[in-house]
Amino acid sequence: MKESIQYKVFRVFNVSLLILIVALTFYPFLNIVAQSFSSEAYINAGKVNIWPKGFNVGTYKIIVRDSMFWINYKNTVVYTVVGTAIQMVMTTMFAYALSKKRLLGREFFTMFAVFTMFFGGGLIPNYVLVKSLGFGNTMWAIVVPGAISVFNMLIMKTFFQNIPEELEEAAIMDGSSTYGTLLKIVLPLSLPVIATMILFYSVGNWNSWFPAFIYLNDKELFPVQIYLRNLIKGAEGSLSSGATSADNLTQISANIKAVTMVLTVLPILCVYPYVQKYFVSGVMLGSVKG
């Protein structure tokens, strides 16, 4: 079929607009990467755009040579993996149960979960609860309190409701148990929403630093975000107090924030392409109906 002139004009306009949006979105990230490899003179002068000026890897060398950085980096990986696993198990089981109309008290449990989205105990009661459970200064203070996100649970619940009940009924007639039906029938059909939830939870766990800041005292238990935060504060504080180790300290203070952003976002950028194809379909399929 021959394309009309109007359609060709629309395609050109559409492609041009999308390229512009991508460029505007991508520019800040390129600028951050460029700053992380630039010298402090060019950064302070505002001459760094999307290409490094006065190429410098001094801040990267200082960070990666510090053994505590790798200890804290390992902690972040552990917290992310363990936390995401706990969250996926708890969210999936809760969402699957609430998706069944035959569940007694289904509406009550749903409203109870939604209630917690708008009302919480606050920081001090949460701190007291975590301490009373014996989770203080342990990994469990990081991975347990956020075991279920109600927003993510509602998305999964809606997705499970869209799966034909006949499939589960056929499995039950073949002798499958409730857990067998969930593991062998429901979850394989739910890969889009599962991949989306894994992405949501893993990104949240990877970027999380405030719970560790509140509940952890041992530096060897800190996630890498706390390490980098302390490094930024230390560099800024040393400069403001007039400390004199001029060259290294000035260079670190100039691009430490850019280096921090690159080091923290890099793992997520590596993982995202593998789950991106499930991302849109998972969210959309999980929000078709309430």
Output the pLDDT for position 39.
83
29-43, 87-101, 265-279: lowest mean pLDDT where?
Answer: 265-279
Query: What are the pLDDT digits (tens) for 8-27?
Result: 888 899 999 999 998 888 88
Most confident of 46-55, 214-223, 281-290: 214-223
Question: Two tokens at 144?
Answer: 């347990």
Output the pLDDT for position 94.
93
Query: What distance in Å separates the CA atoms of residue 222 and residue 213, rounded to the nearest whole number?
Result: 8
Q: Mean pLDDT throughout 141-166?
A: 89
Q: Output 54 or 271, whichever has higher pLDDT.
A: 54
User: What average pLDDT does the chain have?
Assistant: 83
Output the pLDDT for position 290.
43
Query: What are the pLDDT digits (tens) for 124-153?
Result: 888 999 999 999 899 999 999 889 999 999
Q: Mean pLDDT throughout 66-81?
A: 91
Q: What percent of the chain has pLDDT over 70?
A: 87
The confidence band for 244, taking pLDDT boundaries of 50, 70 and 90, is very low
Output the pLDDT for position 286.
47
Output the pLDDT for position 289.
46
Please determine, for residue 247, whether its predicted confidence score (pLDDT) is greater than 70.
no
Please determine, for residue 232, whether its predicted confidence score (pLDDT) is greater than 80.
no
In the chain the first and final C-alpha atoms are separated, in Å, by 41
Output the pLDDT for position 280.
58
Please determine, for residue 278, whether its predicted confidence score (pLDDT) is greater than 90.
no
- Interior angle at CA 175, CA 169 and CA 176, nearest 5: 70
pTM: 0.80
Output the pLDDT for position 235.
67
Output the pLDDT for position 192.
83
Please determine, for residue 283, whether its predicted confidence score (pLDDT) is greater than 60.
no
Question: 18: which residues sit within 8 A by CB, 6+ positions away?
Answer: none
Q: Positive or negative CA dihedral for 21, 22, 25, 28? A: negative
Query: What distance in Å separates the CA atoms of residue 196 and residue 287, rounded to the nearest whole number?
Result: 13
Output the pLDDT for position 93.
92
